[in-house]
Amino acid sequence: MNNKTGGVSLNLYKLTWPIFLEVLLFMLMGTADTLMLSGVSDDAVSAVGVVNQYIFICILIMEVISNGASVVVAQYIGSRRMLEASKIAALSITLNLLLGLVVSAALFIFSDAILSSMNLDGQVLEYANTYMGIVGGFLFLQALINVIASLVRTYGFTKESMYVALGMNVIHVGLNYVLIFGYLGFQEMGVAGAAVSTVISRALALVVFAWVLYRVMEVRIMLRDYVTFSKTYIRKILSVGIPSALEQVTYHACQTVFLYYVTFLGAAALASRSYAMTISQYIYLFSAAIGMGTAIIVGRYVGARLKDQAYRRVLQSVIWSVTITIVVDIVVIAFREPLIGLFTDSTDVIRMASHVILFSIVLETGRSVNLVFINALRAAGDVKFPVYMGFISMVCMSLPLGYMLVFRLDMGLVGVWLAIAADEWLRGIIMWQRWRSRVWEKRSLVDPMEPAAAAVAGSAS
């Protein structure tokens, strides 16, 4: 599996298409849950949708380490510091395991208290508690998958990561089939079956991801590296990871507030939101993949001091991102009713979700710009600026705007979509200007004058 991973002559297409397929497969896991649980009831879909909002936030918290490590490792690889890259990778895995165990315990213990605050009751609350207890209690598995998969991609092996995601997706769908509905002699478990399926497929994928990472590294991790805590490395990881996670947590926390708005619009609106978001994620899938692939290249370029190449690469990626998003969005809008009909036969839900998806052309074009620029700034080490601008745009502008559109102007679910679109466009324009300013060129994490053993000297076991 090994090849020359330290160079910067990476091709965006070769990096991006496996990332696209991998992200697609992860999304399909969520869609499989939604589609199959719709056969149980709309209440089951709504419950899992609410829980996943919290799960996503927790995953983003756990990505403090994986986001930071992927950027730092990419820059060290670009500067051909492969031993340091290996040690940083080992440290990030240990740190994410510890963080994941804490988050899993919190979700398992405080599940009922968290969900009771979301205006849920009856069957929806019961389903949500079941799903949260199982999936949340084993969320540390996803913490390890996130950090190891991001490292595999950072080393340039996006295709291998995609193959593992494919296997996990196949196992998950198969287990969903037998556990949710009780086929092949298994007990019919409904929502609990979807949760157990998620945990088993993640556990199997984790084993394979760990094996792949071991195979693709030029300098392989030693066992002692997992328990060697370097203050220098931790500081570099957290200097990127914490701001990156704060920006993402702020975004999803705002989405949770929007979800809270929707709970006051009724059960049909709640189900419509779940189905519309499930479909919308496939529209911005291309932008997400391009953003991730571009970030790997930018990290390598910045580590190798090739700033002009990084600058041009990002601008080209944005053009591709916007173009592909518009084409996909038009197709989805044209077939929106049949797509929603795959999940439900409720005429109210189909009508409401279809109306919302019409406005995705406004939302997703802004998101396609934002995803590329924010990933690029993060890969270059310029991570604090997006956090500050994100707070201003999301919390200070988008949430009040959403409240006004939903409750004062009676725009319902459409008001939520338009408020999110306003945030994406504002941040996209601001990040574009930030990239053009080239301030990020001064944020490199690898000091060319730093001795190779300097970080190790700062270790404390």
- The answer to whether residues 274 and 336 belong to one domain is yes
Domain count of the fold of the chain: 2
Tell me if 461 is assigned to some domain: no
- pLDDT range class, residue 212, cuts 50, 70, 90: very high
- The answer to whether residues 185 and 61 belong to one domain is yes
Tell me if 69 is assigned to some domain: yes
- The answer to whether residues 304 and 406 belong to one domain is yes
Tell me if 459 is assigned to some domain: no
Q: Is the pLDDT of residue 400 over 60?
A: yes
- The answer to whether residues 189 and 80 belong to one domain is yes
Tell me if 450 is assigned to some domain: no
- The answer to whether residues 221 and 302 belong to one domain is no
pLDDT digits (tens, 9 = 90+) for 165-208: 888 888 988 898 898 888 887 788 888 888 899 899 999 999 99
- pLDDT range class, residue 242, cuts 50, 70, 90: confident
- The answer to whether residues 132 and 170 belong to one domain is yes
CB-CB contact of 154 with 146 (8 Å):
no
- The answer to whether residues 175 and 83 belong to one domain is yes
Tell me if 104 is assigned to some domain: yes
Query: In which residue are the tokens 């692939």 written?
Result: 293
Q: For residue 241, which phi and psi values (nearest 5 degrees)?
A: -65, -45
- The answer to whether residues 346 and 419 belong to one domain is yes
**459 forms bridges with which residues in the sheet?**
230
Tell me if 249 is assigned to some domain: no
Tell me if 127 is assigned to some domain: yes
Predicted pLDDT at 52: 80
- The answer to whether residues 23 and 154 belong to one domain is yes
Indicate the average pLDDT of the chain. 84
Token pair of 442, please? Answer: 């001064």
- The answer to whether residues 370 and 281 belong to one domain is yes
Q: Which residue has the higher pLDDT, 339 or 30?
A: 339
Domain of 316?
264-444
Q: Tell me the torsion sign for CA atoms 107, 110, 111, 117.
A: negative
pLDDT digits (tens, 9 = 90+) for 48-68: 877 887 887 788 788 888 888
Average pLDDT over residues 107-123: 78
Q: Please spell the DSSP secondary structure of 199-239, one letter per residue.
A: HHHHHHHHHHHHHHHHHH-SSPPPGGGGG--BHHHHHHHHH
CB-CB contact of 219 with 82 (8 Å):
yes
What are the residue ranges of helices labelled H in 110-121? 111-116
Average pLDDT over residues 337-355: 87
- The answer to whether residues 113 and 222 belong to one domain is yes
- The answer to whether residues 311 and 419 belong to one domain is yes
DSSP state of 6: S
Q: Please spell the DSSP secondary structure of 385-427, one letter per residue.
A: HHHHHHIIIIIIIIHHHHHIIIIIS--THHHHHHHHHHHHHHH
Tell me if 455 is assigned to some domain: no
